[in-house]
Amino acid sequence: MRRVVSLVPSLTEAVAVSAPGLLVGATDWCSHPADLDVVRVGGTKNPDLASIRALAPDLVIANEEENRAPDLAALRAAGLDVLVTEVRTVPQAFTELERVLRACGITRPRWLDEARAAWAAVPPPVAGEPRRAVVPIWRRPWMVLGRDTFAGDVLARLGVENVYAGHADRYPRVPLDELNAVGAELVVLPDEPYRFTAEDGPEAFPGVRSALVDGRFLTWYGPSLVTAPAALRAALC
């Protein structure tokens, strides 16, 4: 059996659910599955490289957005095999998940086909009627989804147009007064990376409907993709 270290919460869940026992290490942020019992190797942005090397994994799985290039280069320099994913759309998520699972030696799991079917069943947005939304991911300072993000593609497939999808930055900092003046019909407030709640977030956008969503359904690509379309539609309606 291969020994795998995952530095990406989504991929940790995908591997752990598909082949229990394969993972030997994961980050402190890898919260699913809830009973995951592996060595914790620090954060996604500050992994403990010595701990990872000590685990002697056959494969380290990472992501170009969530993990830092110098850390991945250091792991490669230590002789480790590092697979780096790029996920910015729903179709790309499925392609990359298949690549990771193959690299781990995992037979195609049922949940992956169920997830594909769930997203294939999502009706296309009605032409000319997308709901314009701002999607904060942090406050103090306020940061929102910008261009070319997985979460933005997820929302677009559910009929929600990210107002800042054309911004030059992927996660721009935008003053609150500008967010409130942009003419959005909806503000989408996930519970990660910043934990927006009913008491912390909606009050900043008076007169605009707020939708509190589970960040795992919005930003994770793994087994959560099976139920994400229905869960997000319910939260956004």
Cis bond upstream, residue 125 (ω within 30) = no
Name the strand (E) or helix (H) holding 18.
helix 9-18
pLDDT (average), residues 178-193? 96
pLDDT band at 208 (very low <50, low <70, confident <90, very high): very high
Asked if the model's pLDDT at residue 1 lies above 80, the reply is no
pLDDT band at 129 (very low <50, low <70, confident <90, very high): low
Q: Cα–Cα distance between 147 and 158 in angstroms, integer?
A: 17
pLDDT of amino acid 125: 78
CB contact at 8 A, 70 and 18 = no
pLDDT band at 124 (very low <50, low <70, confident <90, very high): confident
Cα 2-5-11 angle, rounded to 5 deg: 100
pLDDT band at 73 (very low <50, low <70, confident <90, very high): very high
pLDDT band at 118 (very low <50, low <70, confident <90, very high): very high
Asked if the model's pLDDT at residue 13 lies above 80, the reply is yes
Name the strand (E) or helix (H) holding 39.
strand 39-40
Asked if the model's pLDDT at residue 198 lies above 80, the reply is yes
pLDDT (average), residues 197-203? 97
pLDDT band at 237 (very low <50, low <70, confident <90, very high): confident
Residue 16: which of 43, 29, 42, 35 has the closest Cα? 35
pLDDT of amino acid 92: 98
CB contact at 8 A, 164 and 113 = no
pLDDT (average), residues 151-178? 96
pLDDT band at 128 (very low <50, low <70, confident <90, very high): low
Asked if the model's pLDDT at residue 46 lies above 70, the reply is yes
Instruction: Say which range, 54-58, 126-130, 203-207, has the weakest mean pLDDT.
Output: 126-130
Average pLDDT value for the chain:
96
